[in-house]
Structure 1
Amino acid sequence: MSAAPWLALLGVALLSFSGSQALKCQWGTNEAVQNVSQLPLTWTPGWATCVPGAGCQDTAILIVSGPQVNLVLSKGCTLAEDHEACVIQHRAGPGLAVISYTHVCRHGDYCNDLSTSALLWSPPPSTVPGTVRCPVCLSKQDCPETAPQQMCPVGHSHCYSGVLRLHGGGIISKLRVQGCMPEPGCHLLNGTKEIGPVSVSEDCSSKPDTLICHRGTMLVQSNSHEEPQEWTTHWSESCNPGQMCQETLLLIDAGHRILLVGSKGCVPEGRGETQAVSLHAGHPGVLVASYVHFCASDLCNQAQSSSVLLDDLPPPAAPEPGGLQCPSCVDMFGSCNESSRLITCPQGTMGCYDGSLALSGGGVSATVNIQSCLTSSFSSFVNDTQNLGIFSVAEIPKDREADSAPGAHSLSGAAPATSLWVVGLALALCAGDMVLAANSISP
């Protein structure tokens, strides 16, 4: 059978260190369910320049069930040791089959040059049909209750139904699998846990209920919230049973300076599906708002930018100016005393605020320093809320004498200022494996 053109993988160019030797490798990832009749498949990858010392890796995985095949591809740079090209039949078939190809090399540019599935699989010889029929299915979605059935070959008297998870090397996949097996149980992979850079596992429970979610944190300080900030992540994680995906974005705007704190990942049990933008209680000079999204499907926490929050904010008000000036600042990377700007407070201001919000959860542990005007109606930046999405929030005030507030400037005999001490800075972030983007697939 002639080779069928299949896919083009996105090319990526990475910077290498000046003056150092670095390999160029074929680069890209992709996955798609195809008809077995279209095998062998061919592909054209992109390329990347690796960091010095890295090698090139090739990984291909074929999963065959009846008339369908799922081909998984991962190419790119790796720090793994060299090994010769290797084809392994994790399960040879007939019936369900899983075959892999792995190769790590450093002997020349673009040495990870696998370009066809022909090395992995060829049609099996004819088999004698048995007496058992099993549904056959390969799908990223749930297998239909009316999935096509296949007469299993002699010696295959059990029907397999499970979920294969593949994670790593740029691949994030959850594949539903049904087909014929020679023995009962959840043994499609025959104990295989790693194929090249890809971790593999299977789940044959009646209702697999674990999700894959985007994971990562974002911290951005900017001079304006009018320009949306990118909010994507190159990492993912498998949740525990019953958990959901979440994405939480918190905005603190001090007028001339903003802070965005974002988190994506799994969320503990007990949350319902929701998506909301909330404007929290604040006071002149500071705006606090949040976007919270809990959802229950794979990779559903997929907001791309801060516009999911900014587009729903009301236009800023223009209160009547009063006679007091106060420092205005929001900062979590230093001291507000170093980046404050004096602003004219509105009428009704009773003094200046100098305090902090402690945030924890979702991979973030931080103290946000805030300075602004203080009105008589002020009680809390977050209206005494203790949780904003995945974040636990605690305001940390410490009163001191009104007339000792640094940076408070009375313009016309205004009331003396009251302020709160800043209590320091702590910051901790999560990290994870990179996920590569893949182009769409066409047969």
Structure 2
Amino acid sequence: MGPRHTQGLLLLFLLGASSSTEAPEVQCFKNVSMYIEEKDYHAFTWTTENVETCDNVTFCQESILIIKAAGTKTAILATKGCIPATMEEIMYIQHTPPPGLVAVSYSSYCDKSVCNDKDRLNEFGNLQEIPVTPTVSPTLQCPTCVALGTCDSAPSLPCPQGATRCYEGRLEIAGGGIESSVEVKGCTALMGCRLMAGMLTVGPMLVKEICQNKPLTQTPKAESGATCLPILVWRLHLLLPLVLESLVHFS
């Protein structure tokens, strides 16, 4: 009886220890927003009370894609929820810089419950200040529009200084609860079907860029001697601020 009783207590202890080491459940805010701002995109808000429970080893995410054309509307596609991830990180990407069309995105992964709680653009770093070059005397005019689905009309507008061509394309976006397309027309200085600069993901969103029925299906590689497109990527692993803080503390 003694040995059996001891073995039973040991088994219960091991079971309790294994259950106590399981990763706690993570809950994340869950929301999808597909939005066309006709005036000031800074007015966009992203509040929600919807919460979902994630599987183990899953992070919370909040991701946003903004596409703006000078003198016209702004498309905002945003998603919050759970996502499988390996580490915390923040990524800001300027896909297409001015002059003309501007495309920027932000995504963040975090591992604390309801940590994906940003609700205004001024909390997303440089997304709140998308630079747009002023228009000048028209030497080039392009049909200009940004719309979910298709543009009902695309007025021909003068291009900003430095723009050299007209862009006409469509972004097909799927993932993170979003299933939509965005039609984009406007002035740009970039050549080819490069509004997203070859980046095909924004957080959980998969993005396929189509121009003249030719989809961009993979990130082009720069050949020797080729000029890289002006894409700005800021990727911040959340460990870095802690390291910098420690360096400051001990300096």
Same structural fold, with TM-score higher than 0.5 when normalized by the shorter chain: yes
Report how far residue 280 of structure 1 moved.
Answer: 1.6
Is the aligned partner of 1:397 residue 2:211?
yes
1:54-92 Cα deviation digits (max 9, x unpaired): xxxxxxxxxxxxxxxxxxxxxxxxxxxxxxxxxxxxxxx
Q: Which residue of 2 aligns with 1:352?
A: 166
Rounded Cα–Cα distance in structure 2 between residues aligned with 1:228 and 1:185: 52
Q: Structure 1 residue 275: deviation in Å?
A: 2.3
TM-superposed CA distance for 1:315, in Å, is 3.6
- The answer to whether the aligner puts 1:381 opposite 2:195 as a matched pair is yes
User: Which residue of 218, 223, 227 corresponds with 2:33?
Assistant: 218
* In structure 1, C-alpha distance between the alignment counterparts of 2:74 and 2:130, rounded to whole Å: 16
Report the TM-score, using the length of structure 1 for normalisation: 0.41
Change (3 A) 1:230 1:312: closer
- Taking the aligned partners of 2:189 and 2:23, their CA distance within structure 1 comes to 53
Q: Distance in 1 between matches of 2:162 and 2:192?
A: 11
Task: Give me the whole-angstrom Cα distance separating, in 2, the residues matched to 1:311 and 1:349.
Answer: 22
> Residues 185-220 of structure 1, C-alpha deviation per residue, up to 9 Å, x if partnerless?
78xxxxxxxxxxxxxxxx944232431111110111
Contact 2:93 2:106 in 1 (8 A): yes
Give, as a single letter, the amino acid of the residue that structure 1 aligns with 2:79: S
Q: What is the alpha-carbon distance in structure 2 between the residues aligned to residue 312 and residue 263 of structure 1? A: 17
Residue pair 1:319, 1:347 contacting (<8 A) in 2 also = yes
Pair 1:288 & 2:98 matched: no
Relative to structure 1, the CA distance from residue 275 to residue 374 in structure 2 (aligned partners, 3 Å threshold; closer, same or farther) is closer
Question: Aligned AA for 2:139?
Answer: G
Task: Say yes or no: does 1:237 pair with 2:58.
Answer: no
Find the residue that maps to 1:396 and give its secondary structure.
Answer: strand
- Which of 1 and 2 has higher RCO (CA within 8 Å, sep 6+)? 2
The 2-side partners of 1:264 and 1:253 are apart by 22
Structure 1's unaligned 5+ residue stretches are 1-157, 159-182, 187-202, 401-443
Residue number among 257, 263, 278 corresponding to 2:73 in the alignment: 257
Q: Shift of the alpha carbon at 1:227?
A: 3.2
Residue in structure 1 matched with residue 116 of structure 2 by the alignment: 301
State the shift of 1:278 in Å.
2.5
CA distance in structure 2 between the aligned counterparts of 1:376 and 1:362, rounded to whole angstroms:
29
Which one has the bigger strand percentage? 1
Q: What is the distance in 2 between the residues matched to 1:184 and 1:349?
A: 68
1:434 matched residue in structure 2: none
User: Aligned-pair RMSD on alpha carbons?
Assistant: 2.9
Q: Is the 8 A contact 1:332 1:367 kept in 2?
A: yes
1:258 Cα shift? 0.6
The CA distance in 2 between the partners of 1:305 and 1:348, in whole Å, is 31
Q: Distance in 1 between matches of 2:134 and 2:161?
A: 11
Written as runs of structure 1 = structure 2, the 5 A alignment for 1:130-149 is: none
Q: Is the 8 A contact 2:100 2:132 kept in 1?
A: no
CA contact (8 A) 1:219 1:261 kept: yes
Q: Deviations over 1:364-387 (max 9, x none)?
A: 011111111243545511111111
Contact 2:100 2:189 in 1 (8 A): no
Structure 1 residue 314 displacement after superposition: 4.6
Q: Which residue of 1 aligns with 2:176?
A: 362
Partner Cα distance (2:62, 2:160) in 1: 35
Higher helix share: 2
Q: Is the 8 A contact 1:282 1:383 kept in 2?
A: no
Where does the alignment leave 5 or more consecutive residues of structure 2 unmatched? 1-8, 215-251
Structure of greater Rg: 1
Match of 2:139 among 300, 319, 323: 323
> In structure 2, what is the equivalent of residue 196 of structure 1?
none
Mark the CA change 1:298 to 1:233 in structure 2 (over 3 Å): closer, same or farther: same
| Superposed displacement of residue 282, structure 1 | 4.4
1:343 and 2:141 correspond? no
Q: Is 1:229–1:307's contact at 8 Å kept on the other side of the alignment?
A: no
Partner of 2:228: none
Query: For 1:97-143, what per-residue CA distance to the aligned partner results, in whole angstroms no more than 9, with x for missing partners?
Result: xxxxxxxxxxxxxxxxxxxxxxxxxxxxxxxxxxxxxxxxxxxxxxx
Distance 2:133 2:41 in 1: 15
Name the CA distance, whole Å, in 2 between partners of 1:219 and 1:252. 12
- Deviations along 1:246-286, one digit per CA (max 9) or x if unpaired, are 0001111122201111100011133x212243322245331
Distance in 1 separating the partners of 2:24 and 2:213: 49
